[in-house]
Amino acid sequence: SLLQSIAKFYDPLGLFAPVLVLGKIMFQDTWFCGIQWYEILPPDIGIEIQQMEYRTVIIKGCKNFQVDRSFEFIKHRIPHIL
């Protein structure tokens, strides 16, 4: 469920990276400890996962978050002579 809670977010701009990177670090720590896929996670990692899930609830509240792009037409072009 750790990998599932990390992978469900699509963040191409990296706006939520400070929260999501913590989950990726936790996943990496479990890998280094040699914990297998279907093993029960230690209690300390379980507490960290609960804290991360609390933070992801905040991200879920930003479901309709939009970033406006700046787009301007160029009215005059000046040719560059080399």
Q: In 10 A of CB 14, how many CB atoms?
A: 9
Residue with tokens 């160029």: 74
Write down the domain spans for the chain.
2-76
Return mean pLDDT, the chain: 77
pLDDT value of position 38: 82
* Per-residue pLDDT tens over the stretch 34-63: 888 888 888 888 888 788 777 777 666 666
**Model pTM?**
0.57
The pLDDT of 64-76, averaged and rounded, is 71
- CA-to-CA distance for 51 and 28, rounded, in angstroms? 17
Amino acid letter for position 52:
M
Q: In 10 A of CB 52, how many CB atoms?
A: 18
pLDDT value of position 29: 84
